[in-house]
Amino acid sequence: MDWKDNFIKFVNKLSKKKGWKCDDMNPYFYQINLLHLSNAKTLREYKQQQKKARQNENRISYTI
């Protein structure tokens, strides 16, 4: 198992515990959908990529 499998397992366990469905109301929904596009080798690296992407989105939205 690699880190992606472990992350999905964690999200499934947490979602079941919290009663979240697998839809766009789940806080992890978009992360799981984007996970397969990532080339990160670790969870830490993936989180850093996501943080940079959110910062870039914020910069773009402020310039409009």
Q: Is the pLDDT of residue 64 over 70?
A: no
Query: What is the residue extent of each domain of the chain?
Result: 3-63
**Residue 28 to residue 16: CA distance in whole angstroms:** 12
Report whether 40 contacts 46 (CB < 8 A): yes
Give the side-chain half-sphere CA count within 13 A for 8.
10
Q: What is the mean pLDDT of residues 28-38?
A: 88
Over residues 34-63, the pLDDT tens digits come to 888 889 999 999 999 989 988 887 776 555
Pairwise CA distance, residues 30 & 7, whole Å: 13
Do residues 46 and 38 make contact, with C-beta atoms less than 8 angstroms apart? yes
